[in-house]
Amino acid sequence: MTPSSVSSNGGGPPRGRVAVVLPGGGARGAYEIGALSVLLPALAARGERVDIWCGTSVGAINATAMAARAHLPPGEQVGHAEELWRALRKDDVMSPIAGIGGVRTTARLIGHGLRVPGRRRANRARSATSARA
């Protein structure tokens, strides 16, 4: 460990950085906040805080919410994220996906998976042919 990668722990020995990596997985995001509601106060009791937040998908959303409030005490930091999750409803997530745009996207993805020639693919082929002429 180099001096620049450690910080003091209340006069105790230097400590390494604390990083939290949160995975994706939809509803797992709510469970992550529940786990953080226990982890962050435990870290604070040891005189530590999270230095690095990162995540994927819903974990990235949670990591961003937590990092944006890193200046707050752990209880307030987690409390805000808990409020966000409690206020979230199924329609907040599903209606943008299940609307007409979602139906078109689903049909296009199924057609692509089944290798059904689609309008976009034909247009690309036509453009390539036109470019050669």
Q: Is the pLDDT of residue 1 over 50?
A: no
Q: What is the largest CA-CA distance in the chain?
A: 75
**CB-CB neighbours of 74 under 10 Å:** 21
pLDDT 10s digits, 27-70: 889 999 999 999 999 999 999 999 999 999 999 999 999 999 99
Q: What are phi and psi of 121, to 5 degrees?
A: -65, -40
pLDDT 10s digits, 96-131: 555 666 777 777 778 777 777 765 544 445 445 555
Instruction: Tell me which DSSP letter residue 53 carries.
Output: E
Residue 114 pLDDT: 79
User: In sequence order, what E strands does the chain have?
Assistant: 19-22, 52-55
Residue 97 pLDDT: 58
Q: Got the DSSP string for 85-109?
A: HHH--HHHHHHHHHSHHHHHHHHHH
Write down the pTM of the prediction. Answer: 0.61
Give 97 or 90, the one with higher predicted confidence.
90
